[in-house]
Amino acid sequence: MRMMGSCHICGKNASQSCSICGSITCDEHIQRGVCTQCRKEGKIEKKKDRDISYTDYYS
């Protein structure tokens, strides 16, 4: 996998980005596409509010 830069939490080489804040994050500090910093701040709940329902998407 291609390295994109350094992790915004620890500074190690990173190849993924957080789906909420968009920051580059290493494998140690990301779970299911969300960085540990966003998890601690509770930003995951805010993202759930933006989900599009099945009927909205296919109507």
Residue 7 confidence (pLDDT) above 60: yes
Helices (DSSP H) in the chain: which residue ranges?
36-41, 43-48, 54-58
What's residue 58's pLDDT? 56
Residue 48 confidence (pLDDT) above 70: no
Average pLDDT, rounded, for the chain: 78
Distance CA 22, CA 19 (A): 6
Token duo for residue 59: 């109507």
As beta bridge partners, residue 31 has 34
Confidence of residue 25 (pLDDT cuts 50, 70, 90): very high
Asked if 9 contacts 40 with a C-beta cutoff of 8 angstroms, the reply is no
Cβ-proximal residues to 43 (8 Å cutoff; 6+ apart), any chain:
20, 21, 34
Confidence of residue 10 (pLDDT cuts 50, 70, 90): very high
| Residue, of 28 and 58, whose pLDDT is higher | 28
